[in-house]
């Protein structure tokens, strides 16, 4: 396998199942169905942590396979709410804001007094 072959193969993969099949990772379909975006995002995050990618296509394939397997295993042992992959899970609780009705009525011309 050449680098070009590997890059072409990677560009043609579109689903979590495609990636798992390509890298020969056995998986439980029910886990992937519920967590497919989380698995792919975690895989992407793990790839971003690799300081230096190997030169050979076979070594790159092996690194990708190991990281994808780790990402999948994260969701075998846990769930999306616990893993908090996406930023939305890290957001704070919404803040409550109170605006007095009199303040609102001042902005409406010809509003009856409250």
pLDDT in tens, the chain (114 residues): 888 889 999 999 999 999 999 999 999 999 999 899 889 988 999 999 999 999 999 999 999 999 999 999 998 887 666 666 655 554 565 677 788 877 777 777 776 766
Distance CA 39, CA 106 (A): 52
Q: What is the CB neighbour count within 10 angstroms for residue 111? A: 11
Q: Where are the domains of the chain?
A: 3-83
pTM of the model: 0.71
């Amino acid at each position: 396998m050449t680098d070009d072959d590997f890059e072409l193969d990677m560009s043609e993969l579109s689903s979590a199942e495609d990636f798992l099949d390509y890298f020969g990772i056995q998986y439980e379909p029910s886990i992937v169905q519920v967590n497919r975006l989380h698995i792919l995002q975690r895989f992407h995050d793990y790839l971003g942590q690799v300081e230096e990618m190997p030169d050979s296509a076979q070594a790159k394939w092996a690194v990708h396979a190991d990281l994808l397997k780790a990402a999948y295993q994260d969701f075998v042992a846990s769930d999306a709410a616990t893993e908090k992959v996406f930023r939305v899970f890290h957001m704070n609780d919404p803040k409550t804001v109170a605006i007095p009705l009199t303040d609102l009525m001042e902005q409406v011309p010809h509003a009856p007094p409250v």
